[in-house]
Amino acid sequence: MRISEQIFPRAVALLGTCGKDGRPNLMSVSFIMPISFDPKYVAFSIAPHRFSYYNLQQVEEFTLNFLDTRQKELAAICGAYSGRDKDKFQMCGLDPIRSRKVFPPVVYCPVSYECQVMDMKELGDHVLVVGAVLEEWVRRKDFTPLLHKGGSEYMSPVGLK
């Protein structure tokens, strides 16, 4: 059994990246964790063959856009296709929102972070990306986070208050 199936559920976010060409991309991520309160750092891991990792190597900035349970379809689409040959903003019917401090756009979600890459370290078959949060967008403090169980399975928290 894969570790992702043993350690669940995990919050789901859309990772926003851009390459040097300026074309934005979205990818579903759930291997996410807070690192520090002050300064505020977050980390996620990504497989090095992903198009989003290619973008991060070109432009060391990203957004993390945390999804609500009503946005499950966005996670499914952005996790199923590669941005190498698909425009996921168009596929999802999303308009990129111009970020305040980084190049990649944010997506309308309850919470979004604009981040600068601080470090990338290859660990096993993934790369750990640590980012400094430069800007926060908190649109709703009270929301039901979408959780990832594994593969294409998502769930909502029960009894969370």
- pLDDT given at position 7: 61
Cα Rg, the chain, nearest whole Å? 15
Residues of the chain with pLDDT > 70: what percent?
A: 92
Q: Rounded to 5 degrees, what angle do the CA atoms 21, 11, 69 make?
A: 95
- pLDDT given at position 10: 81
Which residue ranges form the domains of the chain, and what is each CATH number? 3-155 (2.30.110.10)
The DSSP line for 90-128 is HHHT-PPBPPSSSSSPB-S-SEEEEEEEEEEEEETTEEE
pLDDT category of residue 54 using cuts at 50, 70 and 90: very high
Query: Looking at per-residue confidence, does 126 or 147 come out higher?
Result: 126
86: Cα separation from own chain's centroid: 17
The tens digit of pLDDT for each residue in 59-107 reads 999 999 999 999 989 999 999 999 999 999 999 999 889 999 999 888 8
